[in-house]
Amino acid sequence: MPKYNAIIMDHFQNPQNVGEFEDADGIGLEENPICGDKTQIWIRVHDDLITDIRFKTQGCAAAIATSSVCTVHAKGMALEEAKSLSPNDVANWAGGLPRAKIHCSVLAADALRSAISDYEKHPR
């Protein structure tokens, strides 16, 4: 396993916001076609804020940890702000990633954007 920082190790071993909502307002799925890892994110939205969020990731330690970190930061965030999040933002919240694992932070950022897009296309 690559050498990960304490934030990554903590979120890998104790991931936050794992699960799903049956009554989600938006759902997003992203898959890395090269490694096959995938992240799915469910959001609840009220007054243009992400009021709650869950995720499931099938993937490497960095993908699981960055998904967890992303959900912790996205909870309570305005949709407009969340839409502009980049994988770099997620990697920074996670305290940085080994160079070979930087791509792993893309899954959470893109799955979140996709969940917001799903909500905006199909307001429930």
Footprint of ligand FES (CB under 6 A)? 32, 35, 37, 59-60, 62-63, 101, 104, 107
- Characterise 109 by phi-psi region: left (phi > 0), alpha (psi -120 to 50), beta (else): alpha
Q: In the bound complex, what is the minimum distance in angstroms from residue 107's beta carbon to ligand FES? A: 6
Indicate the residue type of 23: D
| Residue 119 one-letter amino acid | Y
For this structure, is 104 an active site residue? yes
Of residues 94 and 104, the one with the C-beta less far from ligand FES: 104
**Residue 105: CB minimum distance to ligand FES, A:** 8
Q: Indicate if 35 belongs to the active site.
A: yes
Residue 87 in tokens: 């994988």
Pick the closer one to ligand FES by CB: 80 or 100: 100
Cite the beta strand spans of 1-124 per DSSP E. 26-31, 38-46, 49-58
Active site residues: 35, 104
